[in-house]
Amino acid sequence: MAFVILDPCGPEKSAECVSVCPVDCIEEGTDQFYIDPDVCIDCGACVAVCPVDAIVEEYDLTPKQEIFLEKAEEFFANK
C-alpha cells in the first residue's frame, strides 16, 4: 500500500511532505508532487503535514481519483 497525492497539490505545491518523508519517495513533477508507490512505506508522515489534505491512502481512492496513482506510477517509470 502507498499514499497518493491528489489534485489539491497542484496549485499549492508547498513541499512539507518532501522534508518529512523518511524514505525520500516524494519528488516534484511539473504539475504536482508525486509519491513513488514502490518505495513508500505507508508511514503517513506526509499526510500529517500536508496543508491542503491532498494525500490519501491508495485503498481510499475513488474511481475518479485512481488517475493520480496512475500518474505517479508513470512519473517514476519514466525517470
Residue appearing with cell numbers 497542484: 10
How many distinct structural domains can be found in the chain? 1
Q: What domain range is 33 assigned to? A: 3-77
Arithmetic mean of pLDDT, 18-37: 96
pLDDT of residue 64: 97
User: Quick check: 79 pLDDT over 80?
Assistant: no
User: Quick check: 60 pLDDT over 90?
Assistant: yes
Q: What pTM did the predictor assign?
A: 0.92
CATH number, domain containing residue 61:
3.30.70.20
The model's confidence at residue 12, banded by pLDDT at 50, 70 and 90, is confident
Q: What percent of the chain is predicted at pLDDT more than 70?
A: 100
User: Quick check: 1 pLDDT over 80?
Assistant: no
